[in-house]
Amino acid sequence: MTDSTDWQDLIQKHLDGLTSEEEAAALSDQIVSDGAVRSDYLRAARLHGALGDEMLDLAPEPIPFPQAESKKESRIHSTAWPRQLAAAIVTGAFVGLTGFGVAWAMHSPKSQASFVPVADGDFESLSGPVQSGFPNQFGYWSGNPAEVVEEADGNRVLRFLETGNVMGRPNGGATNCSVFQWVDLTSLQQKRNIDQSESQLTLELSARFRREAAPNDADLPKLEASVRIFLFEEEPEFVRSTWPDVLREADALGKKAIRLTPGDDATISTSCRINTDASMALIAVAANTREGGTTPIPLGGYYVDDVQLTAIQQPVLPVRFVK
C-alpha cells in the first residue's frame, strides 16, 4: 500500500468482505498506528452493523470479547466480521497503555446528568395498539405490531405482538418487532453551559424488558431484546422516506441487545455521543428473532417498560502519559 491509499474506501471495502489478504493486513497495521483511521473504522463498523440489522444481513452467533493479542498476531483477515475487529481494537487501545501511568487533575469539574423527556416512556397514559409504521413526527410511539396492556397490579407495559416490516413493503424483511419514537434535542443543545472544547455530551437510552413463556418459544431460539438510538441532522420525514439506507448518514448510533429466556427480565442500556450538529434522536425498543424471512412471526410474551433517555455532560479531562 502507498501513502496515497484512501483508507475510507478501504474500510468500506473491508466491511463488505471484499479486501484481499494484503489489503486487510495493511488496514490492520494502519488501524493500530493511526488514531484517525482507527476512529473511522470503529464508527463505520457500528454503522455497518446497524444497517445490516435493518437490511437483514444477519450476523452469526454473538462473538465473545477477544483476548488481547500482540500487534504481530492481531492482523485482520478479509473474512473477519467487522464487529469482532472493532472489539479487538478497543481491547488493544487499553492494552497499549501497559507500562505507562495516566495522570489527570484531581479537582476537575464533575459530570452532570439530566433526564430528556420521552413521551409516554412508562406507557401509563396509553392503551391498546400503538400506531403502525415508521414515525415521521416527534412525541409518539410507532412501529411494528405492538400494544399497551394493563397488568394485574395496574401497571401498563408495551407488549410486542409480532415481527413485521416497518415500512410496509410486501416483500420486505420481517425479522423484528421495533417500536420507535423521535426526540427533539434542540433545547438540550441550547442548554449546554460548558464550552464544547471542555465538555462532551452523551445520550444514554435504557429500558426494562421481560419475557414470559409463550406457545412458540421453541421456534424462537435466538430471540433477543434490544435498545437502539440514532442521532440525525435530517428531519423525521426525510429519514422515514429513506429508511434504512439513511443509517449511513447517521451522526452517531448506539445499540445493545441481549437474549432473554422465558422468565427473565433485565434493564438494557446503550449510549452515544452528541456532536454539535445532531438536533434529533430516533430511539427504538425491539424484540428481534435473528432469523431471516418475510412472514410475520408471533412473539407472545415479550414486554418492555420504563423507557428513559438521560443526557450526561462530562468534562474533557486533561490527560498525560508518563513512564
The string of pLDDT tens digits covering residues 168-213 is 888 888 899 999 999 999 888 777 654 455 678 899 999 999 999 9
Same domain, 117 and 43: no
Contact call for residues 124 and 99 (beta carbons, < 8 A): no
Number of compact structural domains in the chain: 2
Q: State the average pLDDT for the chain.
A: 78
The string of pLDDT tens digits covering residues 212-271 is 999 988 888 999 999 999 999 888 999 999 998 888 888 889 999 999 999 999 999 999
**Domain for residue 104, yes or no?**
no
Contact call for residues 24 and 37 (beta carbons, < 8 A): no
Same domain, 147 and 289: yes
Last residue of a domain, one of 37, 66, 95: 95
Same domain, 122 and 270: yes
Between the CA of residue 161 and those of 151, 180, 206, 291, 302, what are the distances in Å? 16, 15, 21, 16, 8
Same domain, 178 and 88: no
Same domain, 59 and 157: no
Same domain, 121 and 259: yes
Same domain, 42 and 128: no
**Domain for residue 248, yes or no?**
yes
Note down the domain range covering 273: 112-315
Q: What are phi and psi of 170, to 5 degrees?
A: -55, -40
Same domain, 85 and 58: yes
Mean predicted confidence (pLDDT) in 72-84: 42
Same domain, 88 and 147: no
**Domain for residue 213, yes or no?**
yes
Same domain, 74 and 157: no
pTM over 0.95: no
Same domain, 259 and 295: yes
> What residues contact 129, with CB distance under 8 A and at least 6 apart?
145, 146, 147
Contact call for residues 240 and 276 (beta carbons, < 8 A): no
State the CATH number of the domain containing residue 275: 2.60.120.200
